[in-house]
Chain A
Amino acid sequence: MKKPTANFKPCWIFSTLLLSAFTFIGRRAIASPPEKTTEKEELLVLPGEVGQRGERLVVSLRGEPKTLNPLISVDTPSREVIGTMQADLVHINRATQLTEPALAKSWKISPDGLRYTLVLRRGLKFSDGYPMDADDVLFTFRLYLDEKVHAPQRDLLIFDGKPISLQKVDSHTIVFQLPKPYGVMERMFDGWAILPRHLLEKPYEEGKIAQVGALTTPPNHWAGLGPFRLKEYVAGQRLVLERNPYYWKTDAKGNRLPYLDELVFLFVPSADAQVLRFQSGETGVISRLGAENFSVLSRDQKDYAMVDAGPGLEYNFLFFNLNDLGEKAPPEMIQKQKWFRDLKFRQAVSSAVDREAIVRLVYQGRGAALWGLVTPGNRRWADEKLPHSPRSLEKARELLKEAGFSWGVPGNGDSWLQDSDGKPVEFSIIAQSSSSERSKMAALIQDDLKQLGMRVQVVPLESRSLLDRVTQTKQYDACVLGAASYDADPNSDINVWLSSGGLHLWNPSQARPATPWEAEIDRLINEQMYASTFEQRKKLYDRAQEVLAENQPMIFLVSPNILAGAKNTIGNFHPAVLEPYVFWNVEQLYLKNGTENATR
């Protein structure tokens, strides 16, 4: 026994050494705010339940955030974190889905719709105590517009090839000049985090702007205008944010927000592990839940309550390959595209798909069947007149008969569908293997279509390979996919609607519209973009939704509900259907009574 024991001891000593080497990377902020001006602060007073100051909220993130820099962030965890550390000029209230004043206390639009004059709040300060004024806004938009910065959202500030321009009127007034009237510019101000010029000017001039805001940034080198600021980052484990004492909102009683002292994001790499952490009480809030985990958690709600916020903005759909594949297309593909291009064929497929079964079997009833791109969660913009035709195999068979399809009877007694040339109708549907929901949808559709005599194979593909096939090589028959609008406004899906758009998935990036109905949609969408009143826009957008539904290039299936949960001790927890689902009012979240700490 001697040898093993001898091994055992050094192992513990070694572990101790490793420990001290790898876990103590925390750093403390030593920000020293310049206390020069004591300008009267114009704070924003929020209505709603008044909470209690203090405590710490622990939540889990599926992945590790990659950066704190809003100029380059694209992944969900980074954006979720950045959302709690930054603020925008005009904000979309996630509950009402309407715009409201944020850093800008008011704004005026010139009669021709080309000039937006924004007035900033007085006395605003970044989380490191530095005052913020119009120069920060000008600087921020200079960065977003700079081609060399590669800000992913840059395109949204370009209209017909011309960028918007900004002028400073005085230290608190800025004019945004648009190249073209744009109906929803005030919504567009949402999400553009105003950045600290005093911290970013030097790296920007040195061309190192993409490197700033790394998670390893010392806390006193990073600042924002959001409710929380950086406190500590431990690679692979957690990100700790602390209360921003300079935040510009108060509650109805005049207490400065946010209520929480600390917000801790734990990095938990799998959904099941997130559920376990929540169940064991280590985390206080859980969001982005699948229906299965939601029902598991719903079973014993003692210390926590689960919330179903209803359908969100995600839409799942089936589409066929309608690309012009040119001369090189193999003959089978040409034959298949003959069916796919036939409107009656697509209508028959749509009629045969049992959407209610998908809602029931894939989402355990926590979703809404879908007949158009705009989901019922988008209350203002969904077209209520859109027909919700129930599933009908008879109608589907009739449509197929009209289109010249017939049912041959081979030896085994099954009757398979064949086209007018006598070719059996056989194709494959690709689906993301990483999304068990979409794989299940594809399998259910396979079953539904089998009843029409179509032979369908489901091919699960890893997400990147699938996107590669759909957007690059165009080697696929049909595909089940989903997308989520980032805002309730129609313009967030513009690349899906327009035939020139990269997300016009069935035939992306067309030079000119391939069909008359695509031209019609292009016209309607472009018109609504520049129409000035909501009623006009709504009318045009409804019509676009109808044209899309009539032509079925995308066969819409289901919109899943937004599911979340929180400990009973957490106050003001009101999940919204817009991102960020649970942290949109993070400054108002609080822990009741202060009795229970989220830590064990």
Chain B
Amino acid sequence: MRYLLRRLGHALLLLAGVSVLTFLFTALAPGTYFDEMRMNPQIAPETIAALRAQYGLDKPLPLRYASWLSSLVHGEMGFSFAYNSPVAPLLLVRAGNTLLLTITSTLLAWAIALPLGTWSAERMGRLPDRLLSWGTAMLLVIPDLALALGLLVLAVRSGWFPTGGMASVGFETLSPFNKLRDVALHMILPVTALVLSTLPLLFRHVRAAIADILDAPFLLAALGHGIPKRTLLYRYALPAAANPLISLFGFSIGMLLSGSLLIEVVMSWPGLGPLLLEAILARDLYVVIGGILFSTFFLVGGNLFADLLLYWADPRIRTESNAQ
């Protein structure tokens, strides 16, 4: 319990620190949302000054931070200049779409990486293992952007998949089953791109973790006792190798909101990616801060979750922290 509280405290401190830093950095970036209006010959400088004042951009930084904090407490997370509305609802709708994409692809990537890594570790140094290592190394060096564009070209040439978006036009007229099918069809390409980009890393970690443990004396002893190799692998080797993988899983959770931004922009998935990109370019300050805070929240939460899992899974950590 004390362990949990301490961890929670750390996490909150971290979030507060990140919020101060992002506030500072976004404020330091040259230009503001209203600068683009200066290039519009229709808009008078006085109007721009009045708008800046209306949104409190002329106030000193600590004051702006304080008013942002109070709007955070009210669940608004500040005000978007571009959309003329509170930030939280803008982010929430799109975060939902992002999570749909990333949760699916993360689970899929793990579902492939675990058995594949174990299988490959078991055959360490033999041909299938070498081929897999080569293959994943290849995937690792291909930039996400190239991967996504390649898949899109495939979609256009073949006509099998939609070339982006989350739903077809006329979506609202479809039956519930067809709606599901439609979204699933639209998800195939971005999910494939995401799985292909995360799989190599996961696969290599799983393989290394299992390979490490396979040489351990207790496994050799178990093998000597005639326990079947399959049982050995999944019942004894995998749990023993779990620690680094649990940390990695926490990291996967942390990447849920930020890992797919690029793919979303390329594939025009209506998630946080396009919104944040536009907000950053337009200096829509509070949307940017809100987005960063959202993904930090996931990162911190993911790590916290991983720590708790470790605490539960590994008696060594339990005794260590109780001893302190």
User: A residues near B, CB below 8 A?
Assistant: 1-5, 7-8, 11-12, 14-16, 18-19, 21-23, 25-26, 56, 58, 63-64, 66-67, 69, 72, 74-75, 147, 150-156, 210-211, 214-216, 232, 234-238, 264, 266-270, 272-273, 276-277, 279-280, 282, 434, 462-465, 467-469, 471, 483, 485-486, 492-496, 501-503, 509, 598-600
Contact = CB atoms under 8 A, between A and B. Distances in A.
Contact of A464 (B41, B179, B283): B283
Interface string B116-151: 000000000000000000000000000000000100
A273 B41 contact: no
A175 B192 CA distance: 63
A190 to B, nearest CB: 12
A463 B41 contact: no
A11 B191 CA distance: 13
B281 interface: yes
B265 interface: yes
Given A8-B111, A232-B172, A236-B97, A273 B266 contact: yes
- Enumerate the 4 nearest inter-chain pairs by beta-carbon distance, A residue then B residue, closest first: A464-B31, A236-B270, A155-B44, A4-B111
Given A8-B108, A11-B103, A464-B31, A269 B274 contact: yes
Given A273-B268, A471-B35, A599-B170, A16 B180 contact: yes
Interface stretch (B11-19, B79-87, B211-219, B221-229): B79-87
Nearest to B176: A20
Contact of A19 (B54, B100, B163): B100
A236 B97 CA distance: 9
Contacts of A264: 169
B205 to A, nearest CB: 15
B268 A468 contact: no
Given A147-B50, A269-B277, A276 B41 contact: no
A236 B163 contact: no
Nearest to B106: A11
B9 interface: no
A215 B90 CA distance: 11
Interface string B245-270: 00000000000000000000111101
Given A22-B97, A64-B278, A11 B108 contact: yes
Contacts of B32: 464
27 contacts: A1-B115, A2-B234, A5-B111, A11-B108, A18-B100, A22-B93, A58-B169, A67-B83, A150-B50, A152-B42, A214-B85, A235-B93, A237-B270, A238-B165, A264-B169, A266-B268, A267-B268, A269-B265, A270-B265, A280-B159, A462-B31, A462-B281, A464-B36, A467-B35, A471-B35, A599-B169, A600-B162
- Max count, chain B CB within 10 A of own CB: residue among A11, A235, A464, A600: A464
A588 to B, nearest CB: 22
Given A152-B47, A236-B97, A464-B35, A496 B271 contact: no
B25 to A, nearest CB: 14
Contacts of A18: 96, 99-100, 103
Contacts of B104: 11-12, 15
Nearest to B183: A19
A152 B163 CA distance: 37
B288 interface: no
A152 B277 contact: no
Contacts of A282: 162-163, 169
A276 B164 contact: yes
A441 to B, nearest CB: 17
Given A4-B114, A15-B103, A464-B35, A238 B179 contact: no
A273 B163 CA distance: 8
